[in-house]
Amino acid sequence: MSNHDTDDRVELLRRWCLDRGLWVGPFDEVGESTAAALCDRSPETLRYWRGTDRRLPCRKTKAGWRYALCDLAEFLDEDAEGC
């Protein structure tokens, strides 16, 4: 996926979140429940992935786990290719 495609996908994800009143951080990061909704997975699935194969990059903050929209965009593209 090119940088332009990634930027477009991140913008779509950002808009999806904001249209639903969901928090998007200053570095285009979202919390675990929002990331799960974007991936059409449960928060429990994301927790499982963190503890096993770490297929979706994330980082721990004082406020909880954060997922970058660019990583989510890449994951969604790879997930769609597998269908």
Q: Rounded distance, CA 24 to CA 66, Å?
A: 10
What is the fold of 3-81?
Multidrug-efflux Transporter Regulator; Chain: A; Domain 2 (1.10.1660)
For the chain, domain boundaries = 3-81
Give me 5's structure tokens. 């495609």
pTM of the model: 0.91
Judged by DSSP in three states, 68 sits in: strand
pLDDT, tens digit (0-9, with 9 covering 90-100), for 43-60: 999 999 999 998 999 999
Q: Identify the pLDDT of residue 79.
A: 81
